[in-house]
């Protein structure tokens, strides 16, 4: 089976000949290329019955690596289970107009954070409004920057609790339909983002390169703002989650997702990388598209996040500072059970056994002995 690692090994040199990656992009590419190879070292296990040896190479643990997310994601979602209330949740998606994509990409840390801020303030203010909910809601937001074909498409997925805590500390549920009109939501979000964007511009916090360099001129920048104000920003709600378990399943699917998984890489040949995509114009029909190798690497590395950037953020009654107070009060008021994390206190091997549904310490040859740690080997050396 072809992988992103295969594509990077074959085409990263060609990509370097055409583009200059950022420090974080270069680091991610190197990590993924070396992941689970002797370049990172590893350890050897030996069966205590038949002396069969099994070599395990170390993972790179890069958050952009397709091979390193499974266990980390499962543990993270398991920990979040204690925060889930027995109430409906809404799935809201906020997107950015095409006109702002270049500017956002050139100012990622600043304008991604502004994206989160505009979403959070929009939902918090409208949730407090008596016309809609009249309570403090709880929600988490996570950023994705890609479309199916790996083109740059920054958007935020938000999981929003269908209820909240009033000023009198009473639980208030919303209707089954999303409680904020989408047009109101979109206009509020658009206004907030553009207001703060203009502030950043006047404070000389923005950088302009290439096609976006013209926006360093105040007149051109104002024309950009005017065009964005004139557009309807695409904000929409998806199907409501059917209970806490559905929310957890969603978190498992989305939270630590990267631009493309290995399962979507169909083939890697001498010149191209063929990937599987969903065509949403044809009701999500599966199709295949081939990209020049260097172009595939360029698109993949566009989605490497700035160093230390927090991708998943919690707000309202789900914010860390409120979990032991307001969230616990909401749990009592909404008669929600406490979901105990099932992986809490377990070792990595024990968690892995639960995930794959079998004892991974059993010798695959004799089926009787147990694999025990024999020795470790350093990066670059032979096992």
Cα–Cα dist 340/343, whole Å? 9
> Per the domain annotation, does 33 fall within a domain?
no
> Per the domain annotation, does 279 fall within a domain?
no
Q: Which of 380, 375, 379, 363 is nearest to 47 (CA)?
A: 363
> Per the domain annotation, does 323 fall within a domain?
yes
Residue 86: the pLDDT is: 84
Q: How far is CA 219 from CA 177, 197, 223, in A?
A: 43, 15, 6
Out of 109-113, 121-125, 191-195, 245-249, least confident range: 245-249
Is residue 80 predicted with pLDDT exceeding 90? no
Q: How many CB atoms lie within 10 A of CB 381?
A: 10
Is residue 284 predicted with pLDDT exceeding 80? no
> Per the domain annotation, does 372 fall within a domain?
no
At 378, the pLDDT band (50, 70, 90 cuts) reads very high
Cα–Cα dist 233/135, whole Å? 26
> Per the domain annotation, does 158 fall within a domain?
yes
Name the token pair of 88.
């409906």
Which CATH number do you get for residue 167?
3.40.1310
Number of structural domains (the chain) is: 1
Cα–Cα dist 128/136, whole Å? 6
Provide Rg for the chain, Cα atoms.
Answer: 24
Residue 357: the pLDDT is: 92
First to last CA, the chain: 24
Out of 59-68, 69-78, 125-134, 349-358, least confident range: 69-78
Residue 367: the pLDDT is: 93
Identify the domain containing residue 133 by its residue range. Answer: 70-259+302-333
Residue 381: the pLDDT is: 86
Is residue 268 predicted with pLDDT exceeding 80? yes
> Per the domain annotation, does 208 fall within a domain?
yes
Is residue 332 within 8 A of residue 8, CB to CB? The reply is no
Residue 240: the pLDDT is: 74
Cα–Cα dist 53/252, whole Å? 33
Residue at token pair 């559905």: 246
> Per the domain annotation, does 83 fall within a domain?
yes
Read off the pLDDT of each residue in 197-224 and give the average, rounded to a whole number.
96
| % of the chain with per-residue pLDDT over 70 | 99
> Per the domain annotation, does 174 fall within a domain?
yes
């Amino acid at each position: 089976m072809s992988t992103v690692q295969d594509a990077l090994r074959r085409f990263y040199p060609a990509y370097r000949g055409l583009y200059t990656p950022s420090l974080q992009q270069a680091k991610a590419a190197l990590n993924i290329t070396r992941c689970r190879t002797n370049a990172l070292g590893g350890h050897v296990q030996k069966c205590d019955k038949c002396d069969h040896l099994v070599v395990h190479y170390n993972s790179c643990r890069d958050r952009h690596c397709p091979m390193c997310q499974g266990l980390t994601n499962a543990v993270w979602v398991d920990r979040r289970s204690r925060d889930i209330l027995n109430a409906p949740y809404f799935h809201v998606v906020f997107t950015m107009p095409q006109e702002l994509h270049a500017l956002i990409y050139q100012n990622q840390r600043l304008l991604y954070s502004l994206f989160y801020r505009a979403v959070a303030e929009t939902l918090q203010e409208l949730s407090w409004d008596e016309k809609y909910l009249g309570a403090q809601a709880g929600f988490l937001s996570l950023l994705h920057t890609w479309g199916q074909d790996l083109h740059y498409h920054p958007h935020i997925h938000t999981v929003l609790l269908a209820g909240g805590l009033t000023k009198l500390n009473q639980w208030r549920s919303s209707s089954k339909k999303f409680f904020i009109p989408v047009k109101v939501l979109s206009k509020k979000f658009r206004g907030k983002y553009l207001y703060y964007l203009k502030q950043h511009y006047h404070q000389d916090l923005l950088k302009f390169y290439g096609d976006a360099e013209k926006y360093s001129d105040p007149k051109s920048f104002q024309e950009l703002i005017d065009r964005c104000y004139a557009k309807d920003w695409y904000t929409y709600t998806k199907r409501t989650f059917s209970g806490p378990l559905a929310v957890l399943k969603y978190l498992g699917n989305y939270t630590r997702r990267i631009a493309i998984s290995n399962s979507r890489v169909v083939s890697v040949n001498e010149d191209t990388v063929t990937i599987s995509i969903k065509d949403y114009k044809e009701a999500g029909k599966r199709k295949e598209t081939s990209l020049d190798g260097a172009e595939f690497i360029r698109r993949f590395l566009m989605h490497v996040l700035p160093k230390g950037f927090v991708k998943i953020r919690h707000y309202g009654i789900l914010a860390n500072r409120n979990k032991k107070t307001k969230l616990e009060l909401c749990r009592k008021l909404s008669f929600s059970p406490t979901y105990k994390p099932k992986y809490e206190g377990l070792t990595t091997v024990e968690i892995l056994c639960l995930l794959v549904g079998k004892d991974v310490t059993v010798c695959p040859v004799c089926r009787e002995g147990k694999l025990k740690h024999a020795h470790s080997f350093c990066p670059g050396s032979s096992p």
